[in-house]
A and B are shown apart, each in its own frame.
Chain A
Amino acid sequence: SQQGEEDPQALSIQEGENATMNCSYKTSINNLQWYRQNSGRGLVHLILIRSNEREKHSGRLRVTLDTSKKSSSLLITASRAADTASYFCATDATANAGNMLTFGGGTRLMVKP
């Protein structure tokens, strides 16, 4: 079964607003990662948060992790039209061999100028 589930599946906001995407997972993890994908292109790693971390920042990105609820959120502040893309969470589960990630279905974000 799918490890990561993003919510919402699609999100449309105006430029300058904040965008929040959520991810839930099922099993114990070593870390959780967020990736971005522009239409028809490869994924780009955004940020990684370890299981012993609760919050992490990178520029306009803020990621939280709640291991008790098995959930994470990605906040993009002051969004720009260029942030339009699909965003995926990926989990590095403790049960996996050391280098495998399980990806969720993604959130499609549209930022309107």
Chain B
Amino acid sequence: ETGVTQTPRHLVMGMTNKKSLKCEQHLGHNAMYWYKQSAKKPLELMFVYSLEERVENNSVPSRFSPECPNSSHLFLHLHTLQPEDSALYLCASSQDVGFAGDHEQFFGPGTRLTVL
């Protein structure tokens, strides 16, 4: 166990559905991340929250909406997704020390999302 949990572990949804992915970290970290991992593609950073403020949004489509209510919880709200959004969605956390330093990231087990 890495101290980062994600729910649900598997999700199947239609293109018109609205669902949310949840991530929780029990490590006392102050930065959290959403990544997308598709087959045969490198891990793609989607969103970064540091001290509960979003600092990176790598041109992710608006059908993905993140929410970080506190430093321990991170959500990814999904609506009107496309089949190409099917992937493994990984959450991670780290301790952001605010300057160039060692930022080891701790990952959750991921949510396997299938969009029909």
A48 at interface, CB cutoff 8 A: yes
Pair B101/A97 contact, Cβ less than 8 Å: no
Question: Is B42's beta carbon under 8 Å from chain A?
Answer: yes
Contact string against B for A residues 75-113, beta-carbon threshold 8 Å, 1 for contact and 0 otherwise: 000000000000010101010011111111110000000
A4 neighbours in B (Cβ, 8 Å):
42
B48 near A: Cβ within 8 Å? yes
Q: A40-B88, A42-B90 are in contact. Are A101 and B105 (CB under 8 A)?
A: yes
CB-CB under 8 A for A40 and B110, given A97-B55, A100-B56, A105-B41: yes
Partner of A40, one of B2, B99, B112: B112
Task: Return chain A residues, CB-CB under 8 Å to B92.
Answer: 42-43
Q: Are B103 and A98 in contact (CB under 8 A)?
A: yes
B105 contact set on A, CB distance < 8 A:
43, 45, 90, 101
- For B42, give its contact among A43, A44, A105 (CB under 8 Å): A105
Chain B nearest Cβ from A105, distance in angstroms: 5
Chain B interface size band reads 20 to 34
| Count class of interface residues, chain A | 20 to 34
B42 surroundings in chain A (CB, below 8 A): 2, 4, 103-106
Q: Which residue of B lies closest to A46 (CB)?
A: B104
Contacting A at CB under 8 A, from B87-113, are 88, 90, 92, 94, 96-110, 112
Q: Which A residues are within 8 Å of any B CB, using their own CB?
A: 2, 4, 30-31, 33, 35, 40-45, 48, 50, 88, 90, 92, 94, 97-106
Binding site for A on B (CB under 8 A): 2, 4, 6, 31, 41-43, 45, 48, 50, 55-56, 88, 90, 92, 94, 96-110, 112
Can you show 15 pairs from A to B with CB atoms below 8 A apart?
A2-B42, A30-B100, A31-B103, A42-B6, A42-B109, A43-B105, A45-B104, A45-B105, A48-B104, A50-B102, A92-B102, A94-B100, A100-B45, A102-B45, A103-B42
Known: A42-B90, A45-B105. 17 other contacts (CB 8 A): A2-B42, A31-B103, A35-B107, A42-B92, A42-B109, A43-B43, A44-B2, A97-B50, A98-B101, A98-B103, A99-B31, A99-B48, A99-B103, A100-B45, A101-B45, A102-B45, A106-B42
